[in-house]
Amino acid sequence: MALEEYRRKRDFRKTPEPAGGSPARKTAAAPLAFVIQEHKARRLHFDFRLELDGVLKSWAVPKGPSLDPGEKRLAVEVEDHPLDYGGFEGVIPEGQYGGGTVLLWDRGTWTPADPDPAAAHAKGMLKFELHGEKLHGNWALVRMGGKAARERQPNWLLVKERDDAAVPLSGDAVVMDNPLSVESGRSLEAIASDRDRVWDSQKGEATPTRRSDRIPGARKGAMPVGLKPQLATLATAAPAGPEWLHEIKYDGYRLFARIEHGETRLITRSGLDWTAKFPELAHAFGQLPVDTALIDGELVHLASDGTTSFSGLQDAIATGKTGALHFFAFDLLHRDGWDLTSASLEDRKAALAEFITPQAAGILRYSDHQEGQGPAVLRQASSLGLEGIVSKRRDAPYRAGRGGSWLKVKCRNREEVVVIGFTDPEGKREGFGALLAGYYDPSGTLRYAGRVGTGFSAERLADLRKRLDSLVVKDPPVVLPKEAPRKGVHWVQPALVAEVEFAGWTADQILRHASFQGLREDKSPKEVVYDPSSRNGGPVTKPAPPEPADAGASKPARDGSVMFERVRLTHPDRVLYPEDALTKLDLARYYKTVAERALPNLVHRPLTLVRCPGGQGKPCFYQKHLGKGSPEAIGHVDITEDDETVAYPVIEDLAGLVGLVQMNVIELHPSGAGVDKLDTPDRITFDLDPDEGLAWPRVTEAAVDIREALLAIGLRSFAKTTGGKGLHVVVPLQPKLGWDEVKAFTKWVADQFVAQSPERFTANQAKRARRGRIYIDYLRNSRGATAIGAYSPRARPGAPVSTPLFWEEVEQGVRPEGFTVATVPQRLAALDTDPWAEIGKLRQSIGAAVRRRMAV
């Protein structure tokens, strides 16, 4: 159709709708976009749009999509739309073409199954995979035959294919449970009532006057409260492409400037109000030509050579000479009633430059950037003696927490450490001799990291000694290695964080040639955590000594295969985790080590598998149905779905686990029901999925709260990590209730938490609804749905493992990063008892009284 029909229906002299120009061209490697817009016109429907041949191929789906493969949804093909139409959300007034409310319901990219999707579309059989914020997995659009195919607007069917994203018998749940916009987080009613966003074909959409109001993604809204900063992920090299902007990495204090009607508050990354510390800076912000604004940046001390000095910053604060400091503003998140966090970085910075210009030379400065050429920018920064650079995707929105759209690349080694002690001074030195440093590993254990003996002035030595004396304790707060000093040492509570510059880490994870730069008053000691799987020069936990090459396996056959637990492993040296050099044989050995704990949670259950033939980092796929040629050690159970009987994989012992390894399976997702009672689940799972950047204590606190709520209605529960950023709360049940009843119960529990604490929780899977919240995913408890199994690895860097925990560990804040294929066997060897020893012995049910409360 191209855009002829689209243009014929619109008078672009009267409407600001995009005319579309010539169809856009993309490189072969560029991903294809899709969008779904909920449209409440004369009748409510969903507009399903796929990018193809430079336009959006479009279908009107009256009932919207369904995750149930048995639901074949009518999809009426309509005129092609221009690509930029996919970003529209607002109100088209009555009397105009398509008058009504439009909500951006989902968006993302799609991958065609056919190498020639245009030909597949012409034939009327278009299969594809969606990668959206709400919809995922494999789908098909099938054109109907007969008279329907000859209509001016041909009728198609939109069908969800059977895969791990499918939810049989779910009906309209995905639409009913996810009503909010992925763009603005608003409902249809909220959009309809927002008259500032009305799209009038006669007058055009109301357009504000400031650039910050006009940019795509800006929306009316109050200034965010309690917003956490976006953080950069440490990288070893600067990205080179034109899609990146590169800024100087400053060595100072990160601050939000919150301006409201001329009054300014300066807030640290941890939420402390530091306005009183920097009165001159607060006054400067108050003079800006804005009524309300939220500005992100860094307060620094500029040395004479133009570099930033953290020690100079601390001296200025200590002496009260803060008027000589400078604030480099690098982001604008809100201005005069408009929320800019969903706009691109490039547009946010352009709006910021309107009132803090790149030429500004006072206490307020604009953090300028270089477009592209990251490696060259890093070399220049290194030659100037700077700390490093921060590379940011120019098209990315602002998202709290650490992610991949901001990267930091250092020219030199700087880290924070926890102060755990000090030594007596020697010679003419006063105060103390050296600080003793530590860091927390991901399991929450404080570890010794060496001495920091240089970088102190006489004033700092005296001031620090006073603070340290008030923190002295009798015993060391860490388990000391042999090389740690003991004579003349005073131990202190781990309450202070110091920034140090150093030459590197030894093989024993000890700092080399560390020099003190200053105390980090803006950081908590618990934030000083180093990931054992880090490859960026930080401490690395030593893995257990490798087993001998022939441990558990026969000698290699002529073709290189080995027998392991009665299963022939072909290509046993094939690497499944490249960064960790873990092979198929290593994974088989892992399962042998943990089998006693893992098997009770995996056997006799239908399994969904994640297979990675090329290893982690290469394409993987979900598989539910057992194909031909599977190892004999893997059994199956026949399940009838939509009048079709299919075989699901089932294992009974360690040989079955090894058989799955032979198939290059990395993840195991068991059903909540056993094979003998497929219709009545015996385990339910509450999946706590936190928003990006949400503090880990929020997650552990939520898990404990759910445990207590379940106990109040007579149900004991168990906890485990997900192998990702969340936690699972698992409840064993006697298999008495059906899937629909169990799902209704888990939804009721989730809704109770959302109703009581809407600022903490959401039961809506849309990413927009999760901002600053924990998503309680109760959909794991639907027929056909699964959750990652206990002791199963994940197909993620570092080979993380979904690991059962004691509730005491959850209460103490144990972090999930430390549980990997390399470390979990060591953990189990050190435990006297099993955290889940009772999970298979409990006899508990969702009582009739609870079900009556649900019905109210």
Active site residues: 249
C-alpha 418: how far from chain center: 27
3-state secondary structure 238-275: CCCCCCEEEEECCCCEEEEEEEECCEEEEEECCCCECH
DSSP 802-829: --EE-HHHHHTT--GGG-BTTTHHHHHH
Contact 505, 512 (CB under 8 A): yes
The span from the CA of 600 to the CA of 18, in Å, is: 59
Q: Which residues neighbour 480 within 8 Å (Cβ) at sequence distance 6 or greater? A: 448, 486
* 3-state secondary structure (DSSP) of residue 741: helix
C-alpha 231: how far from chain center: 13
* 3-state secondary structure (DSSP) of residue 832: coil
Strand partners, 583: 575
H helices of 104-245, in order, are 117-123, 173-176, 188-193, 211-214
Contact 165, 121 (CB under 8 A): no
**Sign of the alpha-carbon dihedral angle for 690, 693, 694, 699:** positive
Q: Which residues neighbour 629 within 8 Å (Cβ) at sequence distance 6 or greater? A: none
H helices of 294-395, in order, are 310-319, 345-352, 374-383
Taking CB atoms within 8 Å and a gap of at least 24, the contacts of 18-26 are 18/82, 18/84, 18/85, 19/82, 20/55, 20/81, 20/82, 20/83, 20/84, 20/85, 21/82, 22/54, 23/53, 23/54, 23/55, 24/54, 24/55, 24/83, 25/54, 26/54
Tokens 């939509």 identify what position?
642
Q: Which of 300, 298, 294 is nearest to 257 (CA)?
A: 294
The span from the CA of 360 to the CA of 330, in Å, is: 13
Q: Which H or E element spans position 52? A: strand 44-52
The span from the CA of 148 to the CA of 623, in Å, is: 35
Instruction: Calculate the alpha carbon distances from 45 to 50, 102, 275 in Å.
Output: 16, 10, 50
Q: Which residues neighbour 212 within 8 Å (Cβ) at sequence distance 6 or greater? A: 218, 332, 335, 336, 338, 340, 351, 354
Q: Which two tokens stand for residue 340?
A: 């800019």
Tokens 């040492």 identify what position?
489
Contact 637, 676 (CB under 8 A): no
DSSP one-letter code for 657: H
Q: Which two tokens stand for residue 288?
A: 């800006």
Q: Which of 432, 413, 436 is nearest to 494 (CA)?
A: 436
Q: Which H or E element spans position 568? A: strand 567-569
Q: Which two tokens stand for residue 338?
A: 């408009």
Pairing of strands 230-234, 401-410: parallel
Contact 192, 86 (CB under 8 A): no
Terminal-residue alpha carbon distance, the chain: 52
H helices of 33-178, in order, are 117-123, 173-176
Tokens 């220049």 identify what position?
380
The span from the CA of 820 to the CA of 818, in Å, is: 6
Strand partners, 142: 125, 157
DSSP one-letter code for 753: H
